[in-house]
């Protein structure tokens, strides 16, 4: 895993096979929490990890 340190509200730009994804971290009033803004083309799925795992598990079951 790569650790990158940038200021809040500065975009992190990721290029995935020619598609640009922008992530922006925002502070919240809740201690220890941040929010992420994600700007990605519709062709790229963006999910929290637990949602992604549930989708993959469902796909695996459907293949059986």
Instruction: List, for residues 3-24, the tens digit of each pLDDT value.
Output: 999 999 999 999 999 999 999 9
Q: Cα 6–7–9 angle (5° rounding)?
A: 115
User: Average model confidence (pLDDT) for the chain?
Assistant: 94
Burial class (CB in 10 A: 0-12, 13-18, 19+), 25: middle
CA 33 to CA 50: how far, in whole Å? 18
Indicate yes or no: pTM above 0.75: no
pLDDT classification of 59: cutoffs 50, 70, 90: very high
């Amino acid at each position: 895993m790569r650790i990158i340190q940038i200021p809040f509200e500065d975009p992190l730009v990721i290029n995935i096979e020619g598609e640009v994804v922008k992530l922006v971290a925002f502070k919240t009033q809740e201690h220890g929490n941040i929010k992420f803004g994600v700007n990605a083309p519709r062709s790229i799925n963006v999910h929290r990890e637990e949602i992604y795992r549930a989708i993959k598990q469902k796909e695996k079951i459907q293949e059986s």
